[in-house]
């Protein structure tokens, strides 16, 4: 971190600031130029309040030269992390496809979709049990029963399963769940992230609607610094001025996150577009962008889905999409 001081900074002010920063355990390197003094701060600068430092009357600008995220940072971990879920691997050249309905609705529905997505090439089954819905008046998920049915589908197909947690008080129910999803709405629920960091579970962390990549990576720190390094990042579209699609799929997040971090990145084109017909082309684009996997909503009868029917593709469309993804992956190899 660098602090550029104003020309008017007095030697007393510089000495005061240096003592204050040293008191925080930092090393201070001082450069006196003709017009300005520059302080180079090294050590653990993550806890320095940049706004506070910048607000001092004799400080001109404060700049970070290294990112505040450490555990997820590629600089400290140059090799790609490969997250393993049973026989499935994600990251470091391993591509995995997560597919299934937005919500688990019944035993018949989840077993049928699970069987069909497996036949269509899915590696992992998704299904929401605790649903974070915008309206409290609509289907909120089958909750505990939803997880039970998802586990039945896991038994029937031997696909690993992923489902979303909304509250840490339900953690016990996730014992046999392979990947715990933290949804966009909870990306900055730091207490939840910290508790999940204490579990050995693989966590899929979705980017919040209006969150920067740095904020997403800072959220991963909350999980990783508790000892859990099994984190998968998920780009699921962000909110922009465009209203034609549900969100705007920020595909540049894929190479950007790969540059910044060693963690695998999957893309969810279903929540990003909100329109089933746009899912296959954006899934192909995501694969072409270098994503490590996809999360696709698939329903056996989208027009009757209790949640997100408009963005759900059918199992037949999913199988087609998957063939296209294989072709794209081969083409960019
Ligand atoms: C979901 O995957 O079911 C979901 C609710 O997604 P998001 O958190 O991205 O809105
Ligand atoms: Mn959904």
> Which of helix, strand or coil describes residue 65?
coil
* Ligand 1 site-directed mutation target among 104, 166, 211, 236, most atoms within 8 Å of CB: 236
pLDDT in tens, 200-237: 999 999 999 999 999 999 999 999 999 999 999 999 99
- With a 6 Å cutoff on the Cβ, whether 126 touches ligand 1 is no
Alpha-carbon 141 to chain mean position = 22
Threshold 0.85, pTM exceeds = yes
Does the C-beta of 183 come closer than 6 Å to ligand 1? yes
132 lines ligand 1 (CB under 6 A): yes
- Residue 81 DSSP class: P
Atom of ligand 1 nearest to the CA of 308: 3
Is the CB of residue 69 less than 8 Å from the CB of residue 218? yes
Is-contact 177 153, C-beta < 8 A?
A: no
Of residues 183, 101, 189, the one with CA closest to residue 150: 101
**DSSP bridge partners of 40:** 2, 29
State the Cα–Cα distance between residues 125 and 174, nearest whole angstrom.
15
Q: List, for residues 126-140, the tens digit of each pLDDT value.
A: 999 999 999 999 999
Instruction: Answer for the pair 15, 5: CB distance below 8 angstroms, yes or no.
Output: no
How many Cβ atoms from other residues are within 10 Å of residue 80's Cβ? 18
For residues 117 and 125, give the distance between their C-alpha atoms in angstroms, rounded to a whole number.
8
Q: Please name the helix (run of DSSP H) or strand (run of DSSP E) that holds residue 98, with its range, or none.
A: strand 96-100
Residue nearest atom 9 in ligand 1 by C-alpha distance: 184
Among residues 117, 78, 94, 99, the alpha carbon closest in space to that of 290 is found at 94
Tell me which ligand sits closest to the C-alpha of residue 187. 1
> How far, in Å, CA of 195 to CA of 50, rounded?
28
**Mean pLDDT per 10-residue interval, the chain, length 333 residues:** 93 95 92 88 88 95 88 93 97 98 98 98 98 96 98 98 98 98 98 97 98 98 97 98 98 98 98 98 98 98 98 98 97 91
For residue 154, the CA-to-ligand 2 centroid distance in Å is 20
Looking at residue 36, its pLDDT comes to: 87
pLDDT at site 67: 83
Ligand 1 within 6 A of 236 CB?
yes
Ligand nearest to the CA of 132: 1
Whether 246 is in the pocket of ligand 1, judged by its Cβ within 6 Å, is: no
Taking the C-alpha atoms of residue 261 and residue 249, their distance in angstroms, rounded to an integer, is 19
Q: Which helix (H) or strand (E) holds 83?
A: strand 83-85
- 179 CB within 6 A, ligand 1: no
How far is it, in rounded angstroms, from Cα 75 to Cα 67?
10
User: Contacts for 194-197 with beta carbons within 8 Å, 24 or more apart?
Assistant: 194/222, 194/223, 194/226, 195/168, 195/171, 196/165, 196/168, 196/223, 196/226, 196/228, 197/222, 197/223, 197/224, 197/225, 197/226, 197/227, 197/228
């Amino acid at each position: 971190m660098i602090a550029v001081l104003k020309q008017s900074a007095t030697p007393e002010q510089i000495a005061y600031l240096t003592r204050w920063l040293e008191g925080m355990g930092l090393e201070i390197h001082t450069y006196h130029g003709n017009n300005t003094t520059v302080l180079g701060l090294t050590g653990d600068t993550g806890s320095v309040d940049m706004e506070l430092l910048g607000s001092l009357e004799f400080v001109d600008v404060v700049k970070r030269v290294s990112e505040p995220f450490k555990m997820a940072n590629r600089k400290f971990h140059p090799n790609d992390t490969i997250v393993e879920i049973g026989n499935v691997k994600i990251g470091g050249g391993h591509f995995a496809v997560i597919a299934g309905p937005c919500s688990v609705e019944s035993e018949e529905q989840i077993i049928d979709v699970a069987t069909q997505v497996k036949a269509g090439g899915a590696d992992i089954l998704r299904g929401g049990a605790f649903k974070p819905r915008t309206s409290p008046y609509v289907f909120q998920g089958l909750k505990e029963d939803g997880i039970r049915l998802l586990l039945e589908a896991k038994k029937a197909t031997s696909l690993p399963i992923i489902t979303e947690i909304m509250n840490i008080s339900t953690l016990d129910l996730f014992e046999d769940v392979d990947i715990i999803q933290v949804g966009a709405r909870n990306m900055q629920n730091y207490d939840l992230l910290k508790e999940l960091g204490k579990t050995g579970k693989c966590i899929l962390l979705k980017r919040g609607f209006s969150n920067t990549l740095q904020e997403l990576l800072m959220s991963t720190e909350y999980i990783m610094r508790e000892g859990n390094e099994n984190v998968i990042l998920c780009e699921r579209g962000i909110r922009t001025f465009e209203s034609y699609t549900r969100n705007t799929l920020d595909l540049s997040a894929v190479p950007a996150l790969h540059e910044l971090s060693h963690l695998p990145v999957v893309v969810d084109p279903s929540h990003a577009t909100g329109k089933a017909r746009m899912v296959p082309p954006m899934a192909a684009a995501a694969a072409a962008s270098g994503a490590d996997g996809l999360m696709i909503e698939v329903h056996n009868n989208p027009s009757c889905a209790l949640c997100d029917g408009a963005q759900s593709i059918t199992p037949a469309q999913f199988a087609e999409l998957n063939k296209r993804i294989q072709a794209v992956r081969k083409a960019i190899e």
